[in-house]
């Protein structure tokens, strides 16, 4: 009986935590980030600047087209996000900024290496990648 109780308890804990154990838990930014406003408007100059940042800090995992298929992505758990996906694009700019700032798992917290302006520009570039990928 004791063993059955232990198995039951283990199952009750394991089922809701299975995604977290596998490194696939949803990555949700705090609610307050939805009200953060990107100080940059996406234009050719901002996109050009952000592309350089992306190519130095992000592409090895997320790929040059932002689809999460960079050369370092193989074997990573969780998989790098596809920046052109609806899941990413439906997030508020502030949520993307927060994720860039805080990092998760092997993704470093860029608040220690990139300025606020650089991270906001990256948000513009992530939006641009979705537009570029939809045209392919």
CATH (domain of 88): 1.10.760.10
pLDDT of 71 higher than 90: yes
Confidence band, pLDDT 50/70/90 cuts, at residue 8: very low
If you average pLDDT over residues 7-21, what whole number do you get? Answer: 47
User: Is the separation of the CB atoms in 83 and 51 below 8 Å?
Assistant: no
If you average pLDDT over residues 69-87, what whole number do you get? Answer: 94
Give the whole-angstrom CA distance, residue 62 versus residue 72: 8
Confidence band, pLDDT 50/70/90 cuts, at residue 101: very high
The answer to the question of residue 1 being in a domain is no
The answer to the question of residue 127 being in a domain is yes
The answer to the question of residue 78 being in a domain is yes
Give the whole-angstrom CA distance, residue 49 versus residue 124: 10
Give residue for tokens 């980030």: 33
Domain span including residue 70: 27-134
Confidence band, pLDDT 50/70/90 cuts, at residue 19: very low
Confidence band, pLDDT 50/70/90 cuts, at residue 15: very low
Give the whole-angstrom CA distance, residue 91 versus residue 95: 6
The answer to the question of residue 22 being in a domain is no
pTM, rounded to two decimals:
0.80
- For residue 107, the SS3 value is strand
pLDDT of 10 higher than 80: no
The answer to the question of residue 61 being in a domain is yes
The answer to the question of residue 92 being in a domain is yes
If you average pLDDT over residues 97-106, what whole number do you get? Answer: 96
Enclosing H/E stretch for 7: helix 2-21
Domain count, the chain: 1
Give the whole-angstrom CA distance, residue 97 versus residue 38: 8
What is the pLDDT, as a whole number, of residue 20? 46
The answer to the question of residue 17 being in a domain is no
Tell me how far CA of residue 53 lies from CA of 34, 40, 50, 64, in angstroms: 24, 15, 5, 12
pLDDT of 69 higher than 70: yes
The answer to the question of residue 115 being in a domain is yes
Smallest Cα–Cα separation from 122: which of 90, 94, 105, 97? 97
What are the backbone dihedrals phi and psi of residue 38, each rounded to the nearest 5 degrees, phi first? -65, 125
């Amino acid at each position: 009986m004791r063993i059955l109780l232990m198995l039951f308890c283990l199952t009750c804990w394991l089922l809701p935590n299975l995604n977290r154990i596998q490194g696939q838990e949803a990555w949700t930014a705090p609610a307050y980030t939805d009200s953060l406003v990107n100080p940059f408007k996406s234009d050719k100059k901002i996109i050009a600047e952000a592309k350089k940042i992306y190519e130095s800090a992000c592409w090895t995992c997320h790929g040059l087209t932002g689809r999460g298929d960079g050369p370092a992505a193989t074997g990573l758990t969780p998989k790098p996000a596809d920046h052109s996906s609806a899941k990413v694009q439906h997030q508020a700019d502030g949520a993307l900024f927060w994720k860039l700032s805080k990092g998760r798992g092997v993704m470093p917290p860029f608040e220690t290496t990139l300025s606020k302006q650089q991270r906001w520009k990256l948000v513009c570039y992530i939006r641009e990648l979705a537009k570029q990928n939809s045209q392919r």
